[in-house]
Each structure stands twice: as structure tokens, then as C-alpha cells.
Amino acid sequence: MLLIPAIDLKDGRCVRLKQGDMNESTIFSENPAAMARRWVDAGARRLHLVDLNGAFAGKPVNESAVKAILAEVGDEIPVQLGGGIRDLDTIERYLDDGLSFIIIGTAAVKNPGFMRDACSAFGGHIIVGLDARDGKVATDGWSKLTGHEVADLAKKFEDYGVEAIIYTDIGRDGMLTGVNIDATVKLAQQLTIPVFASGGLSSMQDIERLCAVEEVGIEGVICGRAIYSGDLDFAAAQARADELAAA
């Protein structure tokens, strides 16, 4: 089970939001590259970056912060990024910058042709982020709820050739209420590609519950507010996950 620290970028800073609300942000660091170093030193084996401004603007906004993070840790571990990535040129530029994976969310839902082209042009580097409330997919920084079922879209993108799905329960994100394990398991059981859990991680108990269902195809979990607030010790949690995997 891969525990993946999230670094959410807003106005060049590392922040956390509650349920995707840009007005409900807590600043955790003025220096995202130093934050990236902190998580790598604590044992992170991958990093998850989100360009929050980009997600709302529909184009990259925090690229300089992304580059600073890649300069700091990009040679050591894979780094993935989502937020505002809506065209092939942007994907190519970010991969050239040193990102390992590109996460496509809103554009995947609204423009399936783009999604297919991205998988064709950059096979092995494309992940889809599906954000959902009550099983229905949301887009545009979670501000718009669609009628699409998560599983239906995920299966379609699997056919296109995406590497993995990141499944976020947006009702839980940033709320420390626990991962929606049942919904994540249900999704993973319908796919052959890996699923990453996201939203609501709050405790070591969540990690242990996720490890118990890892075999259905849940490969990792995005760690957000809990590791910043101190509710979860990241290094201890990754060590516990490794211990359970070896048992």
C-alpha cells in the first residue's frame, strides 16, 4: 500500500481545502519544495501535486512551484500532478519538466476524445482522477455534479489505456471522517487497473482497513489533511502498511 502525500498548490503556497472550497483553505507552507523534501525524507515513495488555481482556471497556474518541487525531489521519486490540464501540449510540457504521471479530471469527463488522444500519445503516464459524491462524478473543481456513474466512466477510461484511477469521495475530503472504503472497493472490483483511494483519510485505522482490502486492486491512498494536522504520522503509517504487506 503506497501512502502518497498530497501537496495542494494555491498562489504558490502549500494549502489544504475543505471539500474543495477555495475559500476554506489553510496554508501549511510558503515553500512547497521544502514540504516535498519533508515528505520524501519521511519515506514517501511518490508525491501527489494539485494545482488548485489551475483546476478552477482550466490551465496551469502554479507551474513555477511544480518545477521547484521537481528540482528538489524529482530525481528521487515519481511525482504526479493534476489540476487544469486540458490539452496535449500541457501534458507534454509537464512530462518534459520531469513529472512521471499526469492526472486528468474534468477534461476526461467532458472531452473523452482528448482522453483517448492523451493515452495514445503518452501511454503509461496518464491517470484519471474521478471525484464523486454519492456515486456521481463531479467536475470543475467539484463545483458541478454530473449524471455519470463513477464505475461506468472508470471502465471506459480503462479501455482507453489509462494507468490508474484516483477515486475521491468529495463529501469526505479534508474532513478527517475516514476513507469511503466500501465505495473504493466496489470500484476496484470492477476494474483491472489500480485504484488509489482519496478523501477523508484520518487515522492509522484507515490505513489498516485499506491494507485489508488491498488485493482487490487498491494500490495506494492519497494523504492530505491528516498528515498536515498531525492526526496521522506519515512515516509510522507507511511503515505499518509495509509491515502488513509483508505479513
pLDDT digits (tens, 9 = 90+) for 175-204: 777 899 999 999 999 999 999 999 889 999
Percent of the chain's residues with pLDDT above 90: 78
Check residue 174 and give its pLDDT: 67
DSSP 8-state symbol, 83: S
- 8 in catalytic set: yes
Q: How confident is the model at residue 35 (pLDDT cuts 50, 70, 90)?
A: very high
Q: Is the pLDDT of residue 141 over 70?
A: no
For the ranges 59-73, 77-91, 94-108, 167-181, which has the lowest average pLDDT? 167-181
Check residue 173 and give its pLDDT: 66
Quickly count: other Cβ atoms within 10 Å of residue 188's Cβ.
Answer: 24
| Over residues 134-147, mean pLDDT | 78
- 96 in catalytic set: no
Q: How confident is the model at residue 142 (pLDDT cuts 50, 70, 90)?
A: low
Which of 131, 169, 173, 206 is flagged as catalytic? 131
Q: How confident is the model at residue 151 (pLDDT cuts 50, 70, 90)?
A: very high
For the ranges 41-55, 70-84, 142-156, 214-228, which has the lowest average pLDDT? 142-156
3-class state of residue 178 by DSSP? coil
Reading the block at residue 56, the C-alpha cell is 478552477
Cell 507507511 -> residue: 238
| Over residues 227-242, mean pLDDT | 96
CB contact at 8 A, 55 and 15: no
Reading the block at residue 39, the C-alpha cell is 515528505
Check residue 178 and give its pLDDT: 84
Beta bridge partners, 196, equal 166, 220
Phi, psi for residue 190 in degrees, rounded to 5: -95, 0
Q: Is the pLDDT of residue 23 over 90?
A: no
DSSP 8-state symbol, 2: E
Q: Is the pLDDT of residue 104 over 80?
A: yes
State the Cα angle at 28 between 2 and 129, rounded to 5°.
40
Which of 8, 51, 173, 206 is flagged as catalytic? 8
How would you classify residue 222: left for phi > 0, otherwise alpha for psi between -120 and 50, otherwise beta?
Answer: beta
Residues with Cβ within 8 Å of residue 205, at least 6 apart in sequence: 178
Average pLDDT, the chain: 93
Query: Cα separation of 188 and 150, whole Å?
Result: 11
Percent of the chain's residues with pLDDT above 70: 96
